[in-house]
Structure 1
Amino acid sequence: MNISLRDITQANWMECISLTTNKTGIPTLYEEFVTSNALSIALSKIQNEWIIKAIYNNEQMIGFTMYGFGEVNKFYEILRLMIDYKHQGKGYGKIALKKIINELASLEDCKEIFLSFERV
């Protein structure tokens, strides 16, 4: 297992928006527990403070994340973290979350990180 965070590019954005947490395997704009990757990528182009990354296990894209300093709330936040339904339950999300936290913690002015979530 080799989890990494990589930029969303012209070469991989279609693969990214095709990832889904829906058990049907069909991505939707508003999924059960997380906003779609397509909508999140669009939001990051309007609100420039958000960093978007694809989550890879070796060379396979398995998820998506969006994080940064929210200009409205004035704090660092992990806004999105999703692992595709085919790759859930393998510990990938936990490792990805640690990598995101380490990246944010390396910023000099980042003293706290907030996380939003949906109760199940």
Structure 2
Amino acid sequence: MSIAHGLVELRSIDQNNWYACTLLEVTDEQKEVFPIPVVYWLAESAYCGFTPLAIYAGEQLVGFAVYAIDPDDESHWIMAYMIDHKFQHRGLGWAGMEELVRTIKEKYDCDKIVLGHRPENERASRLYDSLGFEEVSQNEREVIRELKFNK
């Protein structure tokens, strides 16, 4: 799969790019709000039915995303999303998330996408707000947001 749109392209993760994905990292201060390394998400995706995607700007790998469909209620979740620390502050986070939302919506014709982030992750909160994700619940560990589509 290779989906080009705007600044970024989402690509499937395969034998040619999986290792490069494991080398992606957030900044040191972001590790407190995005503590799980990419290699974990790749392993979990292989065994739990998640879909991992590499985010490219041209031929440069810049980020990583994982989405899944909840088997209990068929809701569409963005499980993980990150832009490597070397490529932040260039609009790639916004462009990548916009492309990820478009891809999930088109592929599954769903009426909403759900995601969660830590309450202290203010950058994620601003990004998701700017894309229309609305907070639906919060506890001390996680903020849950939904982006609803008109059908």
Shorter-normalised TM-score: what interval?
Answer: 0.7 to 0.9
Deviation of residue 119 (structure 1)?
2.3
Q: Deviations over 1:59-114 (max 9, x none)?
A: 00010000121225531011111000111111101001111111111134511100
SS of structure 2 residue aligned to 1:116:
strand
Larger radius of gyration: 2
Residues 11-50 of structure 1 mapped to structure 2, 5 A cutoff = 11-23=16-28, 31-34=31-34, 35-48=36-49, 50=50
SS of structure 2 residue aligned to 1:61:
strand
Is residue 2:13 matched to residue 1:8? yes
Whose helix fraction is larger, Structure 1's or Structure 2's? 2
**Matched positions, count:** 113
Share of identical aligned residues, percent?
27
* Pairwise CA RMSD: 1.8
Question: Do the aligned partners of 2:9 and 2:58 also contact (CA within 8 Å) in 1?
Answer: yes
1:102–1:109 CA distance, 2 compared to 1 (3 A): closer
SS of structure 1 residue aligned to 2:32:
coil
Separation in structure 2 between the aligned mates of residue 113 and residue 84 of structure 1, nearest angstrom: 23
Separation in structure 1 between the aligned mates of residue 72 and residue 33 of structure 2, nearest angstrom: 22
**Which residues of structure 1 form unaligned runs of 5+?**
25-30
SS of structure 1 residue aligned to 2:76:
strand
Scaled by the length of structure 1, what TM-score is found?
0.85
Question: Corresponding residue for 1:28?
Answer: none
Higher relative contact order (CA 8 A, sep 6+): 1
Scaled by the length of structure 2, what TM-score is found?
0.69
What amino acid sits opposite 2:52 in the alignment?
I
Separation in structure 1 between the aligned mates of residue 39 and residue 73 of structure 2, nearest angstrom: 23
What amino acid sits opposite 1:22 in the alignment?
T
Deviation of residue 46 (structure 1)?
1.0
1:21–1:73 CA distance, 2 compared to 1 (3 A): farther
